[in-house]
Amino acid sequence: MKITDIKATTVTVPMEAPLRHSNGAHWGRFVRTLVEVETDEGISGWGEMGGGGESAELAFAGLKYYLTGHDPAHLEELRFKIANPTASLYNNRTQLLAAIEFACLDIIGKKTGQPVYNLLGGKVRDTVKFASYLFFRLPDEKTGKGEVRTIDQLVAHCQELKDKYGFTTHKLKGGVFNPDYELEAYQALAAAFPKDKLRYDPNAALSVEEAIRFGHAIENLNNDYFEDPTWGLNGMRRVRQSVRIPTATNTVVINFEQLAANILNPSIDVILLDTTFWGGIRACVKAAAVCETFQLGMSVHSSGELGIQLATMLHLGAVVPGLSFAGDAHYHHLVDDILVGGKFKYKNGAIATPDGPGLGITVDRGKVAQYAELYKELGGYPYDRDPARPEWFPIIPNDRWADPTIPG
């Protein structure tokens, strides 16, 4: 079997309300570049890039000539063709590799009649549990609904998600308001849901000293882990030495060199495996084996997925024995998806891994066309700008927590 064509399409899919975090706001929608890989046997597969846009489409177009004639089953050769680790100074193609690998695994599974999880060694669980992934949110521009700004709104939103989807783990995405306000909000969640697990992630917006102070204040709560409270392996190491909560990251351990550095001089207790950041499902499975060897915790990370990437997250979660924490997913914030039949369904806070050949999904070409047109209409968005505070930069410490929208 040979690759004959690679087609990239950028879509934007709306969410219930704009999500806020330390690097700005998602402006109420996700932008993703989808890739379809076609073969000479008439079998095609789908991939999804973490983010995307016109430049991503051009990058995939550049790979078309390079990969035409490649056997999609030769995945190690594919890795060296796209993101040669010995030539890392000359390329940064991990996300491209991930999307192409997703599509190739989808093709191999369809060719053999096997789900991707069987290509990866077979599943050890049928469903993958997820956390509620709570954000402070701006109101939807059209309806005016969906705002999460006050602590009462946050707790009510968490209860709504728990009732609707069955979540028993709750992650607060912080770094938006003053740490003291977010501490109060986090403590309110703990009081409202005393039997549930909690995790806090300010997207590395805190200084080491702020992170240590915040960590000391929540040590007595039912925490899963303290995710990226500050930046860098050394900063995280200092927090880990001072706070009695496991540390976690999806920012400073996202490749094997960083994983080795963390094992030699520990900073992180829980590695959050992202199928796009690491360069594919197979890289995450390899990393999981290293984590298992050195007894590091693991979870599945979310980078703003649509249904294609969510399927890769489910296949990853199905095959990793040491998956000790509920995964992350932005998915429940979306109002729609690009899959036939609509969005994946949650049951008791979990989603079942699809059993069909390949990724086990069918992409709705009508939906792809619809949301590609919406992208052409709306374009991209300034990811690092929160429309509620356009003058705010996360890298400037002075007055960065001054925000007139905080109640009181």
Cα–Cα distance measured from residue 233 to residue 291, given in angstroms and rounded to the nearest whole number: 17
pLDDT digits (tens, 9 = 90+) for 46-63: 999 998 999 999 999 999
Q: Of the listed 173, 197, 315, 367, which one is catalytic?
A: 173
Per the annotation, the verdict on 332 as an active-site residue is: no
List the CATH code of the domain at 3-115+364-378. 3.30.390.10
Fold of 119-352: TIM Barrel (3.20.20)
pLDDT digits (tens, 9 = 90+) for 186-207: 999 999 999 999 999 999 999 9
Confidence category of residue 401, pLDDT binned at 50, 70, 90: low
Cα–Cα distance measured from residue 48 to residue 274, given in angstroms and rounded to the nearest whole number: 13
Q: Of the listed 70, 170, 301, 333, which one is catalytic?
A: 301
Q: Domain locations in the chain?
A: 3-115+364-378, 119-352
Residue type, 150: T
Cα–Cα distance measured from residue 314 to residue 352, given in angstroms and rounded to the nearest whole number: 7
Extended beta strands in 215-320, E state: 223-227, 247-249, 270-273, 297-300
Mean of the per-residue pLDDT values for the chain? 93
Per the annotation, the verdict on 197 as an active-site residue is: no
| Structural tokens at position 23 | 């690097």
pLDDT digits (tens, 9 = 90+) for 333-365: 999 999 999 999 999 999 999 999 999 999 999
pTM score, whole prediction:
0.95
